[in-house]
Amino acid sequence: MPATVARTGTQTYPGGVEYRPPEEVFSADSLAAYASIPVTLNHPPVPVTPGNAAQYQRGVVTDAAPEARVKVDADPNEWVRTSLVITHADLLSALESGNAESISVGYTCDLDPTPGVAPDGTPYQFVQRNIVPNHISVLTKDHNPRAGASAKVRLDNKEDMKVIKIDGQDFDFGSEAHINKLDSLHTAALSAEKSRADKAEAKADTEKDRADKAESALKADALDARVEARFALLQRASKLLPAKYDTAGKSDHQIRCDALTAQGKDVTGKSEEYVSARFDGITDPAAPAQYVDGTRTTVAPAVKSDANDDKAFREALAVTLKGEDKK
């Protein structure tokens, strides 16, 4: 059962007027203390403890967190609202008959003896600090709640009904029309979110396609450059290598080494930089003719000069280099 149980503002006690500031009423520790405390029929003469709960307890406050800063019954103060679970027939009977309805919280607090004036203009002598609820009492008609008439069990939902405006239309809060409207708004929000997500995914896929194409183009350009470099190397090396020399599976460096060795140059243990420079020096078009065993080399070119043959060779070379990349 929903119930408004405690409020801010001033309350009068035998010792004077005490002020309950919002920061104390709605402090996290104070609100958390409401969970699972006992519900009683009127206040017992002593605080409720595990030792006497069987005698005084008639229900329990739910574990759900209380609602903070609720406005009810046109009351200017702010209220704590929570829910009660009634477990005993005598309290249920008193509620159903109307003999019990009002609420009063049994609690402890520290009194700060600092006088002042509350926001509504009421002078007070004390300020309540560190409010800790011990139990919630449902009062019979012969007891008056210190917090006022708004401190009560909310048996009639219409009594606490609020009107809420959505898209310019008024709804009774919690009504079927209100719930249906919220459902339709929720469905529309989900649809809009899905549409946004689909568009974002499509955009991401488009960007990925562009990136993939750009990457493929770069790879193709890189492969073309490698083919041309390999083609040029084989053309130059063919002038130094034996006619039946097989270049398959050999690196550029190995081909250069074999070409130099065929010319009687010892490159054992030499660095790639040395071999490359030595090879360029020998195969440069401006370099003098090379001889093998005292005879001008007659090694047949590995690549013919015919344009169609050059194209076919380049294509075959590209396939070979791609295959090496996958290994």
pLDDT tens digits along 132-183: 999 999 999 999 899 998 999 987 544 444 556 677 777 766 667 777 877 7
- CA terminus-to-terminus distance, the chain: 74
- Which tops the pLDDT comparison, 115 or 196? 115
pLDDT tens, residue by residue, 278-316: 888 888 755 444 444 433 333 333 333 444 556 666 666
Q: Which of 73-82, 96-105, 223-232 tops mean pLDDT? A: 96-105
Average pLDDT of span 193-210: 86
CB of 241 within 8 A of CB of 299?
yes
- Which range among 17-26, 69-78, 292-301 shows the weakest confidence by mean pLDDT? 292-301
> What pLDDT is stored for residue 310 in this prediction?
60
Question: Among candidates 132, 102, 107, which has minimal Cα distance to 3?
Answer: 102
State residue 112's pLDDT score: 96
Query: In this structure, what token pair is assigned to residue 53?
Result: 């709960």
Instruction: Summarize the confidence of residues 13-38 as an average pLDDT.
Output: 94
Confidence at residue 174, expressed as pLDDT on a 0 to 100 scale: 62
Greatest mean pLDDT among 62-76, 235-249, 299-313: 235-249
The reported pLDDT for the residue numbered 192 is: 82
Q: Which of 242, 284, 249 is nearest to 263 (CA)?
A: 242
Per-residue pLDDT band at 209 (split at 50, 70, 90):
confident
Per-residue tokens: 59: 């229900």
What is the reported pLDDT for 313? 61
Q: Is 231's pLDDT higher than 80? A: yes
Which of 114-123, 134-143, 189-198, 216-225 has the lowest average pLDDT? 216-225
pTM of the shown model: 0.49
Task: Give the pLDDT score at 21.
Answer: 96
- Tell me what the pLDDT averaged over the chain comes to: 82
More confident: 189 or 198:
198
Among the listed ranges 17-21, 136-140, 202-206, which one has the minimum average pLDDT value? 202-206
Please tell me which residue, 11 or 221, carries the higher pLDDT value: 11
Confidence at residue 179, expressed as pLDDT on a 0 to 100 scale: 78
Domain ranges of the chain: 2-159, 216-326
Which has the minimum average pLDDT: 50-64, 221-235, 302-316?
302-316
Residue corresponding to tokens 């440069």: 284
pLDDT of residue 288: 46
87: Cα separation from own chain's centroid: 42
- Which structure tokens are listed for 79? 């209220």
State CA 202 to chain mean position distance: 22
Residue 290: the pLDDT is 45
Question: Which one, of 69, 48, 56, 84, lies nearest residue 6 by Cα?
Answer: 69
The DSSP bridge partners found for residue 261 are none
Q: Please give the Cα distance from 318 to 323 (Å, whole number).
A: 9
Q: Any idea which of 83-87, 88-92, 209-213, 320-324 has the lowest mean pLDDT? A: 320-324
Neighbours of 255 (CB within 10 A): 22
Phi and psi angles of residue 261, each rounded to the nearest 5 degrees, phi first: -60, -40
